[in-house]
A and B are shown apart, each in its own frame.
Chain A
Amino acid sequence: MRISLAAVLSTAALMAFAPACKKSAKETPAVTAPVEGSGSSAAVTAPPPAQVTPPEGSAAAATLTDPQIAAIVVSANQVDIDAGQLALKKSKNEEVKKFAQQMVTDHTAVNKAAVDLVTKLKVTPVESDASRGLVSGGAETRAKLEKLDGDAFDRAYVDNEVAYHQAVIGVLDSQLIPSASNTELKNTLVGVKPAFDAHLQHALHIQAALAGSGSAAHAHGK
């Protein structure tokens, strides 16, 4: 029996996303633990990303409406865009700057896709405690990062990126994807998750490199 490449690819894609789809909406949000930077000498402990709590009166523990999901997605992306722009301004480490630029580029692209979609669907994003918490948490983190320089900044920024992406991925899996009603919105959320996974892997790689380098030399012009 001849199996088409498209069928194989479709099956592989379904298998890749099955774990995310199986996760119950009743799972506790993953955004809880405070961030401690590994190997960081910074006095700053980046505040944990805001806990995504469902709005009052929601039927299920983690059910969000599509307008609320849209606002959370835009806020979450904007927080990382802002952090990336700060890192581009402050960091002297080429790998950190390259990562930061990627965060700005990718999260801007995701935000554009999200805004285009809600515009097409005539959905107006609705702020919630979750989206507001993301924004305020992001501002708080940036304020603390602003006070750091050099290696201390690099480590704190990357430590926060690791924690932030872990939290966002957790929220995507436990709340946003299961709660999305509109198929296109759900597919967009499922579609961007691999990018966030890749960001996390990249951040972990840089985190390990910074921790291993001790008083890391700045990689100029590499």
Chain B
Amino acid sequence: MRGRLATWLLVPACLLVLAACGSKARQPQVHQVAIRAMAFVPATLEVSVGDSVVWTNEDIVPHTVTAAGTFDSQSMTTKQEWRYTASKAGEYAYGCTFHPTMKGTLTVR
């Protein structure tokens, strides 16, 4: 009788705990990419839909973060930051419109 009572108390308690855990959806994360020495660091980044990426220009010369048709920071001067929130899954190749050698890839899952 006592065992059965414990079971009937335990099961709802577990269900309550599971419900509480499930209601805490993954919080969007913020990722950092440095624009340094004419490169994106890291050059490849994987994020989740809803996450944000902040690019920071650590170089002296201006740069852009541009994925044609998807996102474009426009010209970023030294120390300037630009934030993009990933809203759609996909793989996005991007670069700097000023400096053709600079390439990066953003993968959104």
Looking at the complex, which one of A13, A194, A202 makes contact with B100 (CB distance below 8 Å)? A202
Complex contact A102–B99 (CB within 8 A): yes
- Which residue of A16, A195, A197, A202 contacts B61 across the interface (Cβ within 8 Å)? A195
Q: Kindly report which residue of chain A lies nearest to residue B34, judged by CB atoms.
A: A9
Q: Is the CB of A194 within 8 A of B62?
A: no
A105 touches B61 (CB 8 A): yes
Chain B residues 25 to 58 lying within 8 A of chain A, measured CB to CB, are 34, 36-39, 41-42
Interface of B is mostly: loop
Mark each residue of chain A from 137 to 180: 1 if its CB lies under 8 Å from any CB of chain B, else 0.
00000000000000000000000000000000000000000000
Of A79-87, A106-114, A121-129, the one touching chain B: A106-114
A205 B37 Cβ-Cβ under 8 A: no
Interface size on A, residues (CB 8 A): 20
Residue pair B60, A109 in contact (C-beta under 8 Å): yes
Contact between A110 and B37 (Cβ–Cβ < 8 Å)?
no
Given A13-B37, A113-B78, A197-B38, residue A191 in contact with residue B102 (CB < 8 A)? no
Interface residues on B, range: 10 to 19
Q: How far is the CB of A40 from chain B (nearest CB, A)?
A: 22
Evaluate whether A202 and B37 lie within 8 angstroms (CB atoms) in the complex, with A105-B62, A195-B60 already known: no
B101 is an interface residue with CB less than 8 A from chain A: yes
Distance, CA A147 to CA B42, complexed state (A): 46
How many whole Å from A115's CB to the nearest CB in chain B? 12
Contact with B along A190-220 (1 / 0, CB 8 A): 0110110110011001000000000000000
- Chain A interface (Cβ < 8 Å from any Cβ of B): 5, 9, 13, 16, 102, 105-106, 109-110, 113, 188, 191-192, 194-195, 197-198, 201-202, 205
- Which 6 A-B residue pairs are closest in the complex by CB-CB distance? A194-B37, A194-B38, A106-B61, A113-B60, A198-B38, A109-B61
